Amino acid sequence: MSESQSGEAAAQRDSAESVHPLVRVGAAWTWRLLVLFAGLLALGYVVSRLEAVVIPVALALLLAAFLMPAVDRMHRRGVPRSAAVLVAVVGTIGIVGAILSFVVQQFVEGLPDLSDQFTTSVTKAQEWLTDGPLHFSDDQIRHAGDNVVKAIQSNQEALTSGALTTATVIGEIFAGAFLALFTLVFFLYGGDQVWEFVTRIVPKNTRSRVRSAGRQGFNSLVGYTRATVAVAAVDAIGIGAGLAILGVPLALPLASLVFVGAFIPIVGAFVTGFLAVLVALVTKGLLTALIVLGIIVGIMQLEGHVLQPLLLGRAVRLHPLAVVLAITTGIVLAGIVGGLIAVPIVAFLNTAIRSLCAESADAAEEAYESLTRADPSTPMFPATPDEPDGPPSAGDARSPD
């Protein structure tokens, strides 16, 4: 190296050393975090473009986590794997179809009475507004109604365009349902082989750890789905029993909606239960609505302080703040379905990443132990004599014996 090059290198080294260590560390962290953020943005863009594929596959993975224990149990008892998958899938479709048909039938049968009670409640509300302490005039109420009608007429074009896209939305729903069902069958029949095929892109030295982390993440999904079904059943039974005791119409369909909504932790059951509060307000009055609201709040407290820690806490181990943030992010990105699959995705990643980190630490410890066990009498880092700074002198040179 020439003197000019060595001088430039020394100048660069001096300029780098003149920067405060905290600034250097902060800069190193910053550009790495920016790279990670760019990767997350790219992944989010790809997922948003492939939403019609990603969401059905995610739903199929959740259903597979729920049905896999039953399929494995039947297979261990001598039932062929294909027959076990067929029984599980057909049975699930039958149960879900029966529940949906029951809910729709109950709503259709109870809708006329509910409409009459709603009309009566609106009339009473108008009378209270005019004859009550507010003393609104009939002209003011009529003017408010005219404003609503004008708003609907002004947005008629948007409403019409939305109605025209109904057929497209229904087609997308059926296509997504078919893709989810098709994927579910393969997950149940040979999910382990699918995972091994996907992980072939991972380098060989880490492939086994990645596969193990994926299996542990899937096991957390199994526990999550079981616990969620149990929590949803408790919510639906508690709220449905309260509605039936109070004589609120459509108690069973409303309880079924609560059961479905409870699959979105923390907020799902409360939002669907608020519909029961509205029905109680319209049909039974303010006092009954307040009682229903108190029942829902009590059930939510039971869920948050007893059921979630006992059931979901063991399966997922997520902080409530992480659950709420995941649900909010999922709803913003993909609507109700995003809120449904957000927490399972976070739970899967949490378990898988923890497993990878633990296995990496175990691998490092095993490597260290293997080195120490190789030859205990030989030190790992043997000391070497210090070399002099300059070249050896003629007096230091010794000829071999």
| pLDDT value of position 23 | 79
Handedness of CA 122, 123, 124, 129 (dihedral sign): positive
Question: Phi and psi dihedrals of 80, rounded to 5?
Answer: -55, 145
Distance in angstroms (rounded) separating the CA atoms of residues 397 and 184: 78
Q: What pLDDT, on a 0 to 100 scale, did the predictor assign at position 107?
A: 72
Q: What angle do CA 177, 183, 187 make, to 5 degrees?
A: 140
Instruction: From 247, 242, 288, 246, select the one nearest 269 (Cα to Cα).
Output: 242
Residue 195 phi/psi, 5-degree rounding, is -65, -40
CA dihedral 307, 311, 317, 323 (to 10 degrees): -50
CA-to-CA separations, 132 to 110, 114, 143, 145, 172, in angstroms, rounded: 31, 25, 19, 19, 50
Alpha carbon distance 129, 371 (integer Å): 85
User: Can you give the pLDDT at residue 350?
Assistant: 84
d(CA 275, CA 289): 10
pTM of the model: 0.68
Nearest to 92 by CA among 188, 233, 193, 194: 188
Q: Distance between CA 123 and CA 318 in Å, rounded?
A: 48
Q: Which of 307, 317, 313, 309 is nearest to 351 (CA)?
A: 317
Where residue 285 falls (left for φ over 0; alpha for ψ -120 to 50; beta otherwise) is left
Q: How far apart are CA 11 and CA 19, in angstroms?
A: 13
The CA-to-CA distance between both ends of the chain, in Å, stands at 38
User: What is the residue-level pLDDT of the chain in tens, covering all 401 positions?
Assistant: 555 556 565 555 556 566 677 877 888 889 888 998 898 888 878 877 887 888 888 888 888 988 998 898 998 888 899 899 999 999 988 888 887 787 777 777 776 666 666 666 666 666 666 666 656 666 666 666 556 556 545 655 554 455 445 556 677 778 888 888 999 999 988 888 888 888 888 888 888 888 888 888 888 888 888 888 888 888 888 888 888 888 888 888 888 888 888 877 767 777 888 888 888 887 787 888 889 889 888 888 887 777 766 666 666 667 777 777 887 888 777 777 777 788 888 888 888 888 888 766 565 555 545 545 545 455 444 445 544 444 444 444 444 44
Q: Are 355 and 216 in contact (CB under 8 A)?
A: yes
